[in-house]
Amino acid sequence: MNEHIVKSYEEELNALTAETTRMGGLAEAAVADCLLAVVKRDQELATAVVARDERLDVAERDIERRAIRLIALRQPMANDLRKTVAAMKIANNLERIGDLAKNIAKRTLVIIEEEPMTPLTRSIERMGKLVLNRLTSVLDAYSRSDMERAMAVWSQDDEVDEHYNSLFRELLTYMMGDPRTITACTHMLFAAKNLERIGDHATNIAELIHYEITGEEMISQARPKTDPLEA
Amino acid sequence: MNEHIVKSYEEELNALTAETTRMGGLAEAAVADCLLAVVKRDQELATAVVARDERLDVAERDIERRAIRLIALRQPMANDLRKTVAAMKIANNLERIGDLAKNIAKRTLVIIEEEPMTPLTRSIERMGKLVLNRLTSVLDAYSRSDMERAMAVWSQDDEVDEHYNSLFRELLTYMMGDPRTITACTHMLFAAKNLERIGDHATNIAELIHYEITGEEMISQARPKTDPLEA
Instruction: Please indicate if any CB of chain B lies within 8 Å of the CB of A112.
Output: no
| Interface pTM, i.e. ipTM | 0.86
In chain B, residues with a C-beta closer than 8 Å to the C-beta of A221 are: 54
Q: Give the residue from chain A lying closest to B169, CA to CA.
A: A183
**Do the chains contact at A175 and B179, CB–CB below 8 Å?**
yes
Q: What's the CA dihedral at B148, B154, B155, B159 to 10 degrees?
A: 130
- Going from N- to C-terminal start, the domains of chain A cover 3-230
Q: Are B179 and A176 in contact (CB under 8 A)?
A: yes
- CA distances to A72, A138, A168, A201 from B190, in Å: 41, 28, 12, 19
In chain A, residues with a C-beta closer than 8 Å to the C-beta of B180 are: 176
Q: Give the residue from chain A lying closest to B54, CA to CA.
A: A221
Length of chain B: 231
Q: How do the residues of chain B divide into helix, strand and coil, expressed in percent and rounded to 5?
A: 85, 0, 15
Q: What's the CA dihedral at B175, A47, A98, B213 to 10 degrees?
A: 100
Distance of CA B191 to the CA centre of its chain: 13
Q: Give the residue from chain A lying closest to B107, CA to CA.
A: A229
| B169/chain A closest Cα distance in angstroms | 9
| A189/chain B closest Cα distance in angstroms | 9
| pLDDT at position A223 | 53
- CA distances to B33, B71, B109, B144 from B102, in Å: 10, 32, 11, 28
Q: Give the residue from chain A lying closest to B57, CA to CA.
A: A220
Of A107, A179, A193, the CB nearest to B179: A179
- Smallest CA-to-CA distance from B190 within A134, A197, A123, A27 is with A197
Percent of chain A with pLDDT over 90: 83
pLDDT of A1 over the 50 cut:
no
Of B57, B85, B231, the CB nearest to A103: B231
In chain A, residues with a C-beta closer than 8 Å to the C-beta of B109 are: 229
What is the rounded CA–CA span in Å between residue A124 and residue A230? 17
Q: Are A76 and A8 in contact (CB under 8 A)?
A: no
- Smallest CA-to-CA distance from A184 within A6, A38, A37, A17 is with A38
Instruction: Please indicate if any CB of chain A lies within 8 Å of the CB of B190.
Output: yes
Burial of A231 (C-beta count, 10 Å sphere; 0-12/13-18/19+) = middle
The residue of B161, B170, B175, B203 whose CB has the most chain A CBs within 10 angstroms, and thus the best one to mutate to test that interface, is: B175
pLDDT of B113 over the 60 cut:
yes
- A89 Cβ neighbours under 8 A, 6+ residues apart: A204, A208
| Vertex B133 angle, CA B128 and B139, to 5° | 125
Instruction: Please indicate if any CB of chain A lies within 8 Å of the CB of B71.
Output: yes
**Do the chains contact at B179 and A176, CB–CB below 8 Å?**
yes
- CA distances to A30, A190, B201 from B196, in Å: 24, 14, 9
In chain A, residues with a C-beta closer than 8 Å to the C-beta of B221 are: 54
pLDDT of A231 over the 60 cut:
no
What number is the average pLDDT over the span A212-227?
67
What is the rounded CA–CA span in Å between residue A197 and residue A231? 9
pLDDT, chain B, mean: 91
3 state SS of B218? coil
Instruction: Please indicate if any CB of chain B lies within 8 Å of the CB of A228.
Output: yes
| pLDDT at position B231 | 41
What is the rounded CA–CA span in Å between residue B6 and residue B11? 10
Domain B3-230, second-level architecture: Up-down Bundle (1.20)
Handedness of CA A188, A194, A199, A202 (dihedral sign): negative
| Vertex A165 angle, CA B60 and A177, to 5° | 135
**Do the chains contact at A110 and B72, CB–CB below 8 Å?**
no
Instruction: Give the count of Cβ contacts less than 8 A between chain A and B.
Output: 70
Instruction: Please indicate if any CB of chain B lies within 8 Å of the CB of A1.
Output: no
Stronger pLDDT, B185 or B220, i.e. the higher one:
B185
For chain A positions 3-42, those within 8 Å of chain B (CB to CB) are: none
What number is the average pLDDT over the span A70-85?
89
What number is the average pLDDT over the span A31-60?
97
pLDDT of A181 over the 90 cut:
yes
Least confidently predicted of A28-32, A131-135, B214-218, B226-230:
B226-230
**What is the radius of gyration, based on Cα positions, of chain A?**
19
What is the rounded CA–CA span in Å between residue B225 and residue B169? 18
Least confidently predicted of A8-12, A199-203, B110-114, B188-192:
A8-12
Q: Are A230 and A168 in contact (CB under 8 A)?
A: yes
pLDDT of A140 over the 80 cut:
yes
Buried b (16+ CB within 10 A) or exposed e, A71-99: bbebebeeebbbbbbbbbbbbbbbbbbbb
Q: Are A33 and A49 in contact (CB under 8 A)?
A: yes
Of B68, B73, B220, the CB nearest to A85: B68
What is the rounded CA–CA span in Å between residue A2 and residue A72? 14
| Vertex A206 angle, CA A200 and A208, to 5° | 105
Instruction: Please indicate if any CB of chain A lies within 8 Å of the CB of B152.
Output: no
